[in-house]
Amino acid sequence: MKNRKAVLCLLTAGLLLGFAASGIAQTSRRESANSYLERGNQWLKKGEVEKAIEDFSFALSFDPALDQAYFSRGVAR
C-alpha cells in the first residue's frame, strides 16, 4: 500500500512538472516568434527584403499560428 501511494505521488509530481515545463517552453517559443517577427519588420523597413522573409519564416517555425508573420512575409514577397 505504501509503495502504491509513493508511485502515485511521483506520477502526479511528474505530470505537474511536465505541464509547468510545457507552459514555459510554449511561452519561450512565442517570445522567440515575436522577436523574429519584430526583426523581420525592421529589415523590411530598411528594404532588406530577403532578410525580412527569412526572419518571418523563422517566426513561423516557432509559432505556426502567428498570422502577422504570414501576412508580413506575403507583403515582403
* pLDDT tens digits in sequence order for the chain, 77 residues long: 556 776 555 556 665 555 555 565 677 889 999 999 999 999 999 999 999 999 999 999 999 999 999 999 999 99
Number of H helices, E strands in the chain: 3, 0
Domain boundaries, the chain: 2-76
What pLDDT is attached to residue 40?
97
What pLDDT is attached to residue 37?
97
Helical spans, DSSP H, in the chain: 2-45, 49-62, 67-76
2-76 sits in which CATH class? mainly alpha
What pLDDT is attached to residue 19?
52
8 Å CB contact between 75 and 67: no
Dihedral class, residue 20 (left if φ above 0, else alpha if ψ from -120 to 50, else beta): alpha
What pLDDT is attached to residue 27?
77
> What's the CA gap between 37 and 70, in Å, rounded?
10
This prediction has a pTM of 0.67
What pLDDT is attached to residue 29?
87
8 Å CB contact between 69 and 59: yes
